[in-house]
Structure 1
Amino acid sequence: MLLAYLDFYRAVLLCKAAGLDDAALARRLPGHPSPMTLGGLLAHLAYVEDEWFTRRIAGAPAPPPWADAPWEQDRDWDWHWGERASGAEARALFAAACARSRAVAAELGLTSGADLDAGLAAGDASLTRRWALVHLVEEYARHAGHADLLREAIDGAVGD
């Protein structure tokens, strides 16, 4: 069920970014100080996928571009990368991260009811796979609301 909710929210994000050109994906909410954009959301959630599935759940090293990102100079590098990237680049990064996450889930048996209460391979030893999946659903749910507002401000589109 947790993986199904993740897939639902992944699809919602892609729906909110569908049909938009590079300029629209880089557009911020008018009159709002937040630097959030739909391109930034695609990049941020790609980072979140890789951080939790690839690095923490599987224990593998962070893949590019995260491994080489200048996090010390810009702790919001993922957001800023997404704002500068083309729509094709942001969508490809997001799709690749989701594919890696699905591969980790399948490899560890999370798609067939493996032990969700097992600890994570990297990071906080008190956290479990179940906790990580619930956290990912929560992260996507929060950002799906942001994506709703951004898309509506761009062209008035509403709904999933």
Structure 2
Amino acid sequence: MDTAEDRTPDLSDNRTGPPFMAGERESLEAWLEFYRETLPLKVGGLTAGQLCQAAVPPSPMTIAGIVRHLTDVERYWFSNVVAGTDEAARYRSEDPDADFTEYDVSTALADVAAYSLELERVRTHAAGVSDLNAPLPGLRHGRQLNLRWVYTHMLEEYARHLGHADLLRERIDGSTGY
């Protein structure tokens, strides 16, 4: 029998939806935060084994892989591009898809905790940029971009992977929503 320590926390949905009437930056930030707060709801109450349960073959996708991927995506875009650091990806190896494929039941719960810790680290990077249009210190494929582009890309990234997590969660235990 699994104990509470063997599962991710089962959270209440305390999200505040993005405002209907807001400026561009406030809207982008509110939607990103809404999506960031949605991921823990989708993994809430799952065991490490459930986090690592693969989708329908041949897909190796798991909720653990999605969490790991979004952790690395946050680090890359906000630490490396927005802040201009050169931090190594948390989950990369010789396999460029290691964040998705090299998950393990023994580390799955720690990987979920690492997502929250990464968010605490990276939220301040965007706050330090005052202009959505200003070129950022980090480059993407040798090209400059601005914070508006990063926010828009992150919204697309989360929307896609939260949809994947919906399907995986429904397959695991029938849960839908959020």
TM-score by length of 2: 0.78
CA distance in 1, matches of 2:102, 2:117: 16
Check whether the contact 1:40–1:78 (CA below 8 A) recurs between aligned residues.
yes
Q: Equivalent residue of 2:53, what SS?
A: coil
Q: Structure 1 unaligned segments of length 5 or more: list them.
A: none
Q: Structure 2 unaligned segments of length 5 or more: list them.
A: 1-26
Could you say which residue in structure 2 is the equivalent of 1:88?
109
Shift of 1:88: 2.3
Shift of 1:105: 2.1
AA aligned to 1:159 is: G
Change (3 A) 1:103 1:82: farther
Shift of 1:64: 6.3
AA aligned to 2:111 is: A
1:51 aligns with 2:76: yes
AA aligned to 2:61 is: M
Where do 1:10-159 residues align within 5 Å? 10-30=36-56, 32-62=57-87, 65=90, 69-70=92-93, 73-84=94-105, 86-106=107-127, 108-109=128-129, 114-124=130-140, 125-159=143-177
AA aligned to 2:33 is: D
- List per-residue Cα deviations over 1:83-119 (Å, max 9, x = no partner): 455332111211111111212123x14xxxx201111
Shift of 1:3: 1.5
Q: How many residues align?
A: 150
Shift of 1:81: 3.7
User: Which one is further off, 117-126 or 38-47?
Assistant: 117-126
AA aligned to 2:44 is: A
CA distance in 2, matches of 1:134, 1:64: 21
Q: Equivalent residue of 2:103, what SS?
A: helix
TM-score by length of 1: 0.86
CA distance in 2, matches of 1:103, 1:91: 20
CA distance in 1, matches of 2:90, 2:33: 23
Check whether the contact 1:39–1:85 (CA below 8 A) recurs between aligned residues.
no
Greater fraction helix: 1
User: Which one is further off, 34-43 or 87-96?
Assistant: 87-96
Check whether the contact 2:74–2:122 (CA below 8 A) recurs between aligned residues.
yes
AA aligned to 2:84 is: G
Could you say which residue in structure 2 is the equivalent of 1:2?
28
AA aligned to 2:177 is: G
